[in-house]
Amino acid sequence: MTPRLLQVDNFTPTRRTPWGGTRIAGDLKRELLPGEVGRVVGESWEFSVEPDFPSRLLDGSGSLASWIDSAREAILGREGDDGRASTALLVKLLDTSDELSVQIHPSDGDPTVREGESGKPECWYIVAAEPGAGVYLGLAEGVTREALGDALRHGADITAMLGFVPVSAGDFVLIEAGTAHAIGRGLTLVEPQRVQPGCRGLTYRYWDWNRRYDAAGRTDPEGHPRALHVDEALAVTRWDAPRGAALLERCLVRAGSPELRSAPTWTPLCGRDGGLPSEHLHVARLHGTGAFDLPDWDSLRAVTVVDGSLVIDGVTVARGQTCALPARPAARRATLDRAHAIVSAAY
């Protein structure tokens, strides 16, 4: 089966992402959407079977979900071997002009996860970063459940209780269940996630920087705060997890800026057979110029191009586009033209 290009403007409304920036429409997708330059876009759901923001095929022939249904075995490969009706993969582009709320996700087996709900393993590949930009990952050394809970319930600023990690283009961050995290301002990134098909991925919000919003989602000191889930977030936090440098050893890859004119290079970022260990997500970076035989993952993949272009089986994927690459046939050759792409799959 041939790859299928997906719609390029599956954007969330600004009231949902008041922290959004202008680089998705104004830079990454500038050539695809010339009339949208300057538009504020926080999230672009590039590859999604989620009912809230489902991806559609670029040619207008239907949704990503219905295409998967049309030939499930050939499209899903081993991802469908456990009886899944669809893919567990979700891929977004994010662009930030302000910090996102501090969040945490439970594991699938956590007691807080009920029927119809799912954990939400995720990772971030940094496409662009303003000077001084970073992410918040884990808790600072010495922070206890009691101290953090007391600060949150009294509306205190908890910035000093979080681990801040400066990042730059080419960095990759794997978010483990039970780890507090937040994306900082001035970042553009690819966010692969895994959500069990037919389930709602759970996110508990620790803190939202004491911001308030009006009915349109704009920050407003006279508005209302976003709902928090302090008790749930504290309950699923892994208090015995590594912090500081020990946490970064298992969660951070600094792959560096790619050389786009050199021969194609494949860099595993996370998975079961290379990069950071992950039982949920399989992610790699592909960049350079020339022909490259893609590894056989025997699973449905999302190929998100963030620079240059590449061609797979006669299908050109341009900058700012994502294609759905079926599991079968296994042999796939990509021809890269100064390309920089992230390849993602779910286990």
Confidence at 218, pLDDT banded by 50, 70, 90: confident
pLDDT per position as a tens digit, 36-68: 999 999 999 999 999 999 999 999 999 999 999
Q: Residue range 183-212: average pLDDT?
A: 96
Q: Can you tell me the distance from the alpha carbon of 46 to that of 318, in angstroms, rounded to the nearest whole number?
A: 13
Quote the tokens at residue 334: 């990509």
Which segments of 42-144 does DSSP mark as H helices, in order? 64-70, 72-76
pLDDT at 84: 82
Q: Can you tell me the distance from the alpha carbon of 275 to that of 269, in angstroms, rounded to the nearest whole number?
A: 4
Q: Can you tell me the distance from the alpha carbon of 184 to that of 94, in angstroms, rounded to the nearest whole number?
A: 11
pLDDT per position as a tens digit, 108-141: 989 989 999 999 999 999 999 999 999 999 999 9
pLDDT per position as a tens digit, 75-101: 999 988 877 889 999 999 999 999 999
Question: Which positions ≥6 away from 154 have C-beta within 8 Å?
Answer: none
Confidence at 222, pLDDT banded by 50, 70, 90: very high
Question: Domains of the chain by range and CATH?
Answer: 4-254 (2.60.120.10), 265-346 (2.60.120.10)
pLDDT per position as a tens digit, 149-195: 999 999 999 999 999 999 999 999 999 999 999 999 999 999 999 99
Looking at residue 219, the DSSP 8-state letter turns out to be B
Taking residue 83's Cβ as centre, other Cβ atoms within 10 Å add up to 6
